[in-house]
Structure 1
């Protein structure tokens, strides 16, 4: 069946199309009786206003675009929770897509969101080059979460990844670990910052840093854990993983090899996602306040949309260590 239109609603309610438009825009110029008649007709027909068409007609958009780097990572879902809680209360709707951790795909994803003529964009952990971000910011306000930027037209929300990795290393050293390996996040957003924190903390404790190439995925964590088992004798006693997803993959590979966490080897993640808190995982991890980051991103974007400021905001939140069951003193 064809999608019902305003004309269909107007005919059913016995009013003009212009009056239906006023009702859909929640105009105070419509009497309660006529408003009720229009809304009843719309419900009977299954009519709902098209957000994009409404934006084009009024030249003001109530749509916000959100590009997520990796739909599989619960870290981003929890940021969206915080974002959505703020913007819905302000009358905005979210359109969400993904770039699949690919810079080329992210360019297309951002272009796709811009085709809806959104009031603004939130890019979560983007890998798209700075030039692509600058081009997007020329068309709509942009906020980056888990990604730095020097552009004055772009706002950023980050945690202090260097400090977070240092917390992980300091915890392991306090337990007595000296052979600590870092599985890095490859080209992922904030991976380089976390790696620098690990290296700095290891050297501060007089220990030799060892970094293995990995990515922000469970499969990459499992692969890197396999390399740990093949390359090191004796084995390291602890792993600082790129993120929680990476840590879970590493733990799975260690378990398949007959090693027990934390009895044989300790593992620390990063993000403190809902995944890490599951009882059968119980991952020691570095907490980023995901919902708070989403809230701050929403507030920054709304300020830009409403012209409340022109200068960029640079929120840098402090992480904290969450102790669970994947770390313990080394056996030796």
Structure 2
């Protein structure tokens, strides 16, 4: 059982595919059919299919003949008949906000690896922060008869997916579904932020700011709840001007940091709500004395000076769980029970959480 598993009440794409490994010699694969292989081996096409699918009920000498014919003719299976037969293509769609974000790139690659293990392809697309674009892209993808979908939505209303949920497995990742019942794999956003704020308080900080990118994203809302809840539990006020959103790039982040530094009582520490904001904040924080804890690790976080303490997520595990749920649903299509699974996070202490001056 995964941690905190509980039931719910009711731009350019990349395409990859791995097919069975056979010999590289022989006529072009597109010219070879299963009937050709059967004729070469002196068996029926059904027997060829059994050998190709590793059926144990095939005599050893028959298997040897068929495998030799497969190699000689360089047979490669045609997935089109399977698509027509099952009503879906052997492809899993992955929709994320930003493929340049290391977190979502890791999620997508993890889904891709699981798909390859299961003999399928992935088509991966990003939708930015554009809610309308998300719906258009997802509808277009699902109209191509995918076998499943893993999605980290930017929309706060996912009810447009209702008509698809009974047709194929849809699994939400990082951000839970709203307006539709579906499986989801999330991180402990609120608990992770509590770890960050408590860590800063324990290091002597009482003036702690919270910086994020978009306030309407569920992860940001949950992390803000953790920030506010911890301040309240520890008897600290939420100071005016200490919660700021809009850290989307270097310029906006520099403006935010300058605004915090100009306050009559500037913060001594900052919690960054995600890796995207943390990366944008790095240049602006270079000349400041703020201690920082970022939610989500990112490349080079341990190499900057001073290194950044982070709340570490595991996007690879998140993507793997989501993809395996897709294939579990494909294997057991009659299961209607939808589950919400929350994965734990941990604090990775590095060198930037110095005490206040």
Q: Give TM-score scaled by structure 1 length.
A: 0.81
Q: Of 140, 162, 169, which residue of structure 1 is paired with 2:168? A: 140
Report how far residue 244 of structure 1 moved.
1.8
Q: Of 333, 337, 342, which residue of structure 2 is paired with 1:316? A: 342
Report how far residue 98 of structure 1 moved.
1.1
Decide which moves more: 284-293 or 270-279. Answer: 270-279
- Following the alignment from structure 2 to structure 1, what is the Cα–Cα distance between the partners of residues 163 and 306? 42
Q: Indicate the residue corresponding to 1:208 in structure 2.
A: 238
- Following the alignment from structure 1 to structure 2, what is the Cα–Cα distance between the partners of residues 267 and 168? 9
Q: Indicate the residue corresponding to 1:68 in structure 2.
A: 96
8 Å contact kept, 1:218–1:247 = no
CA shift in 2, pair 1:314/1:117, >3 Å: same
Report how far residue 297 of structure 1 moved.
1.0
* Structure with higher RCO (Cα < 8 A, 6+ apart): 2
Q: Indicate the residue corresponding to 1:224 in structure 2.
A: 256
- Following the alignment from structure 1 to structure 2, what is the Cα–Cα distance between the partners of residues 188 and 315? 18
8 Å contact kept, 2:37–2:73 = no
Q: Of 53, 69, 94, which residue of structure 1 is paired with 2:122? A: 94
Is 1:269 paired with 2:300? no
Q: C-alpha deviations, 1:109-146, integer Å up to 9, x for none?
A: 21232133111110024436221232442432110011
Q: C-alpha deviations, 1:81-118, integer Å up to 9, x for none?
A: 43334332222221111111211111122123213311
8 Å contact kept, 2:254–2:281 = yes
8 Å contact kept, 2:192–2:226 = yes
Q: Of 207, 217, 220, which residue of structure 2 is paired with 1:191? A: 220
Q: Of 315, 325, 328, which residue of structure 1 is paired with 2:351? A: 325
Is 1:302 paired with 2:321? no
Extract unaligned runs of 5+ from structure 2.
1-26
Where in structure 1 do 4 or more consecutive aligned residues deviate above 6 Å? 13-16, 22-25
- Following the alignment from structure 2 to structure 1, what is the Cα–Cα distance between the partners of residues 51 and 354? 59
8 Å contact kept, 1:107–1:128 = no
8 Å contact kept, 2:312–2:348 = yes
8 Å contact kept, 2:110–2:316 = yes
Q: Indicate the residue corresponding to 1:286 in structure 2.
A: 311
Extract unaligned runs of 5+ from structure 1.
none
Report how far residue 270 of structure 1 moved.
0.9
CA shift in 2, pair 1:133/1:216, >3 Å: farther
- Following the alignment from structure 1 to structure 2, what is the Cα–Cα distance between the partners of residues 85 and 7? 26
8 Å contact kept, 1:188–1:215 = no
Report how far residue 193 of structure 1 moved.
0.5
8 Å contact kept, 2:309–2:353 = yes
8 Å contact kept, 2:156–2:217 = no
